[in-house]
Amino acid sequence: MQTKNNEIMQRDLEVIWHPCTQMKDHETLPLIPIRSGKGVYLYDFDGNKYIDAVSSWWVNLFGHSNTRINTKIKAQLDTLEHVLLAGFTHEPAVELAHKLVYITPSALQKVFYVDNGSSAVEAALKMSYHYHLNKGKRKPVFLSLTNSYHGETIGALSVGDVSLYKETYEQLLIQNRQVQVPVDQSLQAAQVALDALEILLKEKADEIAAFILEPLIQGAGGMHMYHPAYLIGARALTEAYDVHLIADEIMTGFGRTGKMFACEHAQISPDFMTLSKGLTGGYLPLSVVMTTNEVYQAFYCDYNEHKAFLHSHSYTGNPLACAALATLEIFAENNILGENAKKASYIKKALEKFLSLENVKSIRQQGMVTAIELVGYESHERIGLKIYEYALTQGVLLRPLGHIIYFMPPYIIGYEEIDKMIEVAYEGIKRV
Ligand code: PMP
């Protein structure tokens, strides 16, 4: 019998080329058309529901179709849907920028709007390079951590290190060096990595514009986590060697790590911070590059003295997306981080039993990100895909990164749903 799910899937596959997908897989792997979402659940056309345990690629904070955010965006829709941001401005952009300056580390005083995560990384890299040029220095190289991920446009891909995405395009990339990420969450690993960073900066700082990192958690690199001491050391070293520090908080921002921003765990203020994903609560594409007055001032001059930062996207600072600042109001009016801390420790406790499974190597957690690392599989076995398929049959959307199974649910997830998410993952891991 032809179900509604099937019908939509077939029409989709006639014309849509999906992201991050070998399309041939869909000869056997069904696509899931989603009809609606509410809270932590996604609903398909055939009456199935799925717990969105990965917040739809880490963007959703307060659930699907959140009444508070809906109301704000609907009101904005009847007022102003879009206007260019060059020569013009609008209230949602102004309000959101002020709120961001208020809640991010103190040195970050200026907000440059972009419209997705990778583009924010591109803009931050260009801004850093251009800053040094305006100061009379040519620094054409960037520095990043091994195992990092910063997006998939050419510049962002260049500073990343996940070979699955990067390898093919190697010849197209811009100049980047890599330095070892701390191997685990210990203080000692942080120190070893800082020693390597110092050696590299001593030798190469003259050519390096900026050091970009994902603070505390490398997301697409398999939820790899490291100690905040590394951030403290990296901030001190970059400052000493006149290299910018770019904190890419696109995934870690807005409470994911247990504090509003991961940089707060180390009490550091970077030269640039990139934000996206949770910025709109998972509603609309939007991103920002936050930076310091010092960087801003290096571009502020008469028209012909230095080139201005001539970077733009059509949808920069879109008013509907900025109206999702309702997300920040929810943070301001509720004890979200406190409630998340309780949920995180509940998840941690519930996962203890996983350690007795012989294919579980380790479990790590930082705030509302929890990862279970499996051992004993080759990549061609596509173990993550098997767990993904099993979990869907049980009504949970997990999307493992290879042999790393992780949970990154919307913050409004209830304890019953946490139990279900964990139970399904446990069964899935036991079966493979
Ligand atoms: N940086 C980090 C740390 C990310 O996790 C991501 C997305 N997973 C990006 C950049 C790229 O963002 P986008 O997918 O919106 O381009």
- Ligand 1 midpoint to CA 251 (Å): 7
In a domain, 136, yes or no: yes
Mutating to test ligand 1, I would choose from 181, 214, 251, 284 the residue with most ligand atoms within 8 A of its C-beta, which is 251
Residues 80 and 51 in one domain: no
- Given a cut of 80, is residue 1 above it in pLDDT? no
- Give the residue from 297, 332, 367 where a domain finishes: 332
Residues 83 and 95 in one domain: yes
The whole-number pLDDT of residue 305 equals 85
Q: Where are the alpha helices (DSSP H) in 279-414?
A: 293-297, 319-323, 326-333, 336-350, 383-393
Average pLDDT, rounded, for the chain:
97
Task: State if residue 116 touches ligand 1 by the CB under 6 angstroms criterion.
Answer: yes
Give pLDDT tens digits for 212-260: 999 999 999 999 999 999 999 999 999 999 999 999 999 999 999 999 9
The whole-number pLDDT of residue 307 equals 86
Q: Provide, rounded to the nearest whole percent, the portion of the chain with pLDDT above 90.
A: 97
The whole-number pLDDT of residue 379 equals 87
The whole-number pLDDT of residue 214 equals 98
Per-residue b or e along 289-325, where b marks 16 or more CB atoms closer than 10 Å to that residue's CB: bbbbeebeebbeeeeeebeebeeebebbbbbbbbbbb
Residues 176 and 109 in one domain: yes
In a domain, 260, yes or no: yes
**Per-residue tokens: 208:** 């390096």
The whole-number pLDDT of residue 99 equals 97
Mutating to test ligand 1, I would choose from 57, 150, 181, 284 the residue with most ligand atoms within 8 A of its C-beta, which is 150
Residues 39 and 77 in one domain: no
**Per-residue tokens: 66:** 């959140």
Residues 116 and 127 in one domain: yes
Domain that holds residue 340: 32-65+335-431
The whole-number pLDDT of residue 355 equals 96
For residue 385, give the CATH number of its domain.
3.90.1150.10
Residues 205 and 343 in one domain: no
- Ligand 1 midpoint to CA 117 (Å): 5
**pLDDT tier for residue 306 given thresholds of 50, 70 and 90:** confident
The structural domain count of the chain equals: 2
Nearest CA to ligand 1 atom 1: 150
Q: How many residues does this entry show for the chain? A: 432
**Per-residue tokens: 422:** 């964990």
Residues 88 and 166 in one domain: yes
Provide mean pLDDT across the span 407-429: 98
Residues 240 and 373 in one domain: no
Residues 357 and 285 in one domain: no
- Give the residue from 273, 297, 332 where a domain finishes: 332
In a domain, 115, yes or no: yes
In a domain, 185, yes or no: yes
- Give the residue from 280, 298, 332 where a domain finishes: 332
Give pLDDT tens digits for 55-75: 999 999 999 999 999 999 999
Task: State if residue 115 touches ligand 1 by the CB under 6 angstroms criterion.
Answer: no
The whole-number pLDDT of residue 304 equals 84
Per-residue b or e along 182-221, where b marks 16 or more CB atoms closer than 10 Å to that residue's CB: beebeeebbeebbeebbebbeebbebbbbbbbbbbbbbbb
- Ligand 1 midpoint to CA 286 (Å): 12
Give pLDDT tens digits for 359-377: 999 999 999 999 999 999 9
In a domain, 16, yes or no: no
List, in sequence order, every beta strand (DSSP E) within 104-195: 108-114, 141-145, 176-179
Task: State if residue 148 touches ligand 1 by the CB under 6 angstroms criterion.
Answer: no
Residues 182 and 193 in one domain: yes
Residues 316 and 342 in one domain: no
Nearest CA to ligand 1 atom 7: 151
- Given a cut of 90, is residue 387 above it in pLDDT? yes
Residues 121 and 249 in one domain: yes
Give pLDDT tens digits for 82-94: 999 999 999 999 9
The whole-number pLDDT of residue 357 equals 96
For residue 284, give the CATH number of its domain.
3.40.640.10
